[in-house]
């Protein structure tokens, strides 16, 4: 079966149909071409034509009169960070962003896929970090798309906010 677009999400749907889950790792959710099997063994080939096709928990990839194929994000080892202050939040995000690692934010926790050197760095920095299992489903958007509708860069927007007109 070839899938070229999402059909919606289970959050917006009330259904009694059987759900056949398609398990994905967090890092597979933004792939444009992917071959996977559902839990029942159906082969699914995803060929997304649009840019920035981000899959998330519960996205519907196929639906017929009896079955829905939906995305199930698999839990993974993660660094769980509980910032105590906004300064701590900014410092943590800076440290992680400096390593160009994707950040996730859900249930008041900052999450990043487990990385031993980063875990040790944050622990040594005195941050409240834990290792645990989480579904990484809510990525933080940390970049500005270069082909947006505005010609302002992120830097120019920040400068406008921090400088006063003379």
Nearest one of 77, 135, 76 to 105, comparing CA atoms: 135
pLDDT at 161: 62
Helices (H), 24-132: 86-98, 116-124
The percent of residues in the chain predicted with pLDDT above 90, rounded, is 37
How far, in Å, are 100, 145, 146, 159 from residue 154 at the CA level? 17, 10, 10, 9
Q: What CA–CA distance (Å, rounded) separates 7 from 62?
A: 7
Report strand pairing: 18-24 vs 67-73. Answer: parallel
Geometric angle at alpha carbon 31, from 14 and 13, rounded to 5°: 5
Cβ–Cβ < 8 Å for 61, 70:
yes
pLDDT at 23: 96
For residue 29, give both structure tokens.
């959710």
Domains of the chain: 2-73 (2.60.260.20), 76-134 (3.30.70.790)
Place 158 in a pLDDT band, splitting at 50, 70 and 90.
low
Where are the strands (E) in the chain, listed by range? Answer: 2-3, 8-9, 18-24, 33-37, 43-47, 59-63, 67-73, 76-81, 104-106, 109-113, 129-134
pTM check: above 0.85 = no
Place 155 in a pLDDT band, splitting at 50, 70 and 90.
low
163: which DSSP letter? S
Is pLDDT above 80 for 145? no
Nearest one of 136, 129, 130, 147 to 107, comparing CA atoms: 136
How far, in Å, are 124, 152, 157, 159, 161 from residue 165 at the CA level? 42, 17, 14, 11, 10
pLDDT tens, position by position, 6-39? 888 998 888 888 999 999 999 999 888 899 999 9
Least confident of 15-24, 51-60, 113-122: 51-60
| Mean pLDDT value across residues 147-157 | 54
């Amino acid at each position: 079966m070839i899938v070229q677009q999402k059909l919606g999400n289970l959050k917006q749907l009330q259904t009694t149909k059987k759900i056949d889950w398609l398990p994905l790792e967090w890092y597979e959710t933004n792939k444009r071409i992917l071959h996977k099997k559902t839990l029942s063994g159906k082969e699914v080939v995803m060929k997304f034509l649009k840019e920035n096709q981000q899959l998330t928990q519960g996205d519907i990839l196929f639906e017929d009169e009896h079955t829905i194929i939906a995305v199930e994000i698999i839990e993974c080892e993660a660094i769980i960070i509980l910032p105590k202050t906004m300064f701590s939040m900014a410092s943590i995000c800076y440290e992680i962003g400096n390593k160009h690692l994707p950040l996730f934010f859900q249930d008041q926790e900052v999450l990043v896929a487990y990385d031993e050197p980063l875990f040790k760095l944050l622990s040594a920095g005195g941050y409240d970090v834990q290792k645990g299992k989480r579904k990484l489903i809510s990525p933080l958007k940390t970049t500005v798309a270069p082909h947006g509708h505005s010609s302002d860069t992120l830097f120019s927007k920040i400068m406008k906010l921090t400088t006063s007109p003379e």
